[in-house]
Amino acid sequence: MARTPNRSSQTNRFLAAMLEDPLAWRYGYELLKKTGLQSGTLYPLLMRLSDQGLLEAQWREPEKAGKPPRHVYRLTPTGLVLARAQALPIAKPGIVNKWAGAKV
């Protein structure tokens, strides 16, 4: 029995942000700024999508020495299909989290 895809506004916002550049790997903090979601909403969403096979995640070595490795995320082909079906009609590019203005 397949799980019904989540249709919450947060999921739609996330999928819309991922569709801006579907093949790019994204950092967690970068996604937070793009979607305007807070980490307490964003990470459970990432976990759930990853559990459903809609999102792939991997560790990436830091660009600067002395910094920790980072987790990056990208939609899987199944996730892209869902995103295109669900998020495109309401995509709102350019959403910026007003409190997350610091440089990463």
Partner 1 sequence: MSGGNRRRIASALMRHAARIMPAARAGWSAAMESELGLIEDDNVALRWALGCVIAGYREWVSDMVLLRTWYARSALACLIALLALREFFAPLLIFAYRMQYMGLAHFLGLRTAGDDYRRFIPIMDATPSWLVVLWVASGLLYLVALWQMLRRSGASHVPFFLGFGLEFAGMLAIQSLETSTGVTVGPIPLIRAAGYFLTFSVGFVLWRATRKNIGAAS
Binding residues for partner 1, rule: CB under 8 A, are 1-3, 27-29, 32, 38-44, 46-47, 51-52, 57, 67-71, 99-104
Looking from the CA of 65 toward its CB, the CA atoms found within 13 Å total 0
Distance of CA 24 to the CA centre of its chain: 11
Nearer Cβ to partner 1 (44/77): 44
- Cα distances from 83 to residues 42, 50, 53, 100, in angstroms, run 16, 14, 13, 25
Nearer Cβ to partner 1 (91/100): 100
Nearer Cβ to partner 1 (52/91): 52
Q: At what angle do helices 39-51 and 28-35 cross, to 10 degrees?
A: 110
